């Protein structure tokens, strides 16, 4: 009987050793130590032995059980570790492999300038508005005091849109049309800037594009003076190009302002001494003036009570000066290498 116990022990130990998975080990345990296993039958037979034999054989039986339990626990631990290792191996991540970096985009220089300028003006209290790029003759010309015989409206300068039943549609030639739409839509006071695309019938060359960008500004309230215009533009220029910049104003004609002026800024590269970028030390930056009373009246504003100023800034020009881009066409010819240079700039 002792040999039978020992036989069961050896069979059990070898079954446990043969189990290749935790499930197989479970089966081996039932087969070896379960209620219907040979070991249990032997255990029950102990009762029929004489007290003396029962004591002797019982000790062996206990040793056998203990041995089997230990073998079972060892094998279980082994198999568990193996399963864990297999999982880890499956999930293995080689941190020394070079990563696949996503391509990082960049803002186009025109976007950088536009966003920056808009941010300066909004910090000064201006609100951003937009208008349609397809305009009608009244908003683009008549309301802005540009009469039918004005040279700016000839086919030479404007791109007309051929829509049956709408003979007077054109692509807006300047963002100034948004002045009109803004005043028609709200009552004073008005403090807005209108960034956007404008179109002219023009052949591209190093300083011209048929499609370009402007930011229009308009302020209308009681008591607005030329000094407000000057102070606003000076604050803008300093925020945009540096604290040391000065502005200068010279007379200029625009039908929708009176008086009108051209605004120059001291060169941000040579500080006014004269260099390759500016030539004379000054960079002509934008057109501006006091809103013409006729424009106010055309929009239903009381020109006796209200005054205002307006300005228009070309974005391409600012981008070219700031980044020393020699040809305006480079901004639109789609060479990604231009834009890549602006990664992380805005």
254 touching ligand DAH, by CB under 6 A: yes
Stretch that binds ligand DAH, among 37-45, 185-193, 284-292, 317-325 (CB under 6 A): 284-292
Complex with ligand DAH: residue 25 or 224, whichever CB lies closer: 224
Q: Which residues inside 191-230 make contact with ligand DAH, applying CB under 6 A?
A: 216
List b or e across 162-187, with b for residues whose CB sees 16 or more CB atoms inside 10 angstroms. Answer: eeeeeeebbbbbbbbbbbbbbbeeee
What are the tokens at 154? Answer: 């000839």
List b or e across 101-128, with b for residues whose CB sees 16 or more CB atoms inside 10 angstroms. Answer: eeeeebbbbbbbbbebbbebbeebebee
DSSP string across 199-256? E-S---BTTB-SEEEEEEEEEEETT--HHHHHHHHHHHHHHHH-TT--EEEEE---TT
Q: Which residues inside 4-33 make contact with ligand DAH, applying CB under 6 A?
A: none
289 touching ligand DAH, by CB under 6 A: yes
Position among 174, 194, 213, 307 found at the interface with ligand DAH (CB under 6 A): 174
257 touching ligand DAH, by CB under 6 A: yes
Stretch that binds ligand DAH, among 41-49, 55-63, 115-123, 309-317 (CB under 6 A): 309-317
Position among 25, 117, 310, 320 found at the interface with ligand DAH (CB under 6 A): 310
264 touching ligand DAH, by CB under 6 A: no
Burial of residue 48, with CB atoms counted within 10 A of its CB: 0-12 exposed, 13-18 middle, 19 or more buried: exposed
On whether the CB atoms of residues 194 and 148 are closer than 8 A, the answer is no
Q: CB of residue 229 vs ligand DAH: minimum separation in angstroms?
A: 9
263 touching ligand DAH, by CB under 6 A: no
Q: Kindly list the residues in this chain that would bind ligand DAH in the complex (CB under 6 A).
A: 174, 176, 216, 254, 257, 260, 287-289, 310-312
């Amino acid at each position: 009987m002792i040999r039978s116990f020992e036989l069961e022990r050896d069979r059990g130990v070898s079954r446990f050793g043969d189990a290749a998975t935790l499930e197989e080990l479970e089966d081996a345990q039932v087969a070896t130590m379960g209620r219907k296993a040979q070991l249990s039958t032997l255990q029950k037979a102990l009762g029929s032995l004489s007290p003396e034999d029962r004591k002797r054989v019982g000790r062996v039986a206990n040793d056998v059980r203990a041995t089997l339990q230990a073998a079972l626990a060892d094998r279980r631990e082994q198999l568990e570790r193996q399963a864990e290792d297999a999982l880890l191996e499956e999930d293995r991540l080689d941190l020394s492999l070079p990563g696949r970096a996503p391509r990082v985009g960049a803002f186009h220089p025109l976007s950088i300038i536009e966003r920056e300028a808009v941010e300066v003006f909004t910090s000064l209290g201006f609100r951003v508005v937009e208008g349609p790029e397809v305009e009608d003759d009244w908003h683009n010309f008549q309301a802005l005091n540009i009469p039918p015989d004005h040279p700016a409206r000839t086919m030479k300068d404007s791109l007309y849109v051929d829509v049956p039943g709408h003979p007077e549609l054109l692509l807006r030639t300047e963002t100034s049309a948004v002045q009109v739409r803004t005043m028609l839509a709200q009552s004073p006071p008005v403090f807005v800037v209108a960034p956007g695309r404008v179109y002219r019938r023009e052949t591209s060359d190093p300083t011209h594009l048929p499609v370009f960008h402007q930011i229009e500004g308009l302020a209308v309230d009681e008591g607005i003076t030329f000094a407000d215009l000057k102070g606003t533009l000076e604050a803008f220029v300093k925020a945009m190009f540096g604290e040391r910049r000065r502005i200068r104003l010279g007379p200029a004609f625009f039908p929708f302002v009176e008086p009108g002026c051209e605004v120059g800024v001291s060169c941000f590269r040579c500080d006014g001494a004269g260099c390759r970028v500016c030539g004379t030390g000054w960079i002509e930056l934008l057109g501006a003036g006091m809103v013409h009373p006729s424009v106010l009246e055309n929009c239903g504003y009381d020109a006796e009570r209200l005054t205002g100023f307006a300005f228009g800034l070309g974005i391409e020009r600012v981008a070219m000066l700031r980044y020393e881009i020699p040809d305006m066409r480079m901004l639109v010819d789609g060479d990604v290498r231009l834009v890549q240079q602006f990664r992380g700039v805005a």
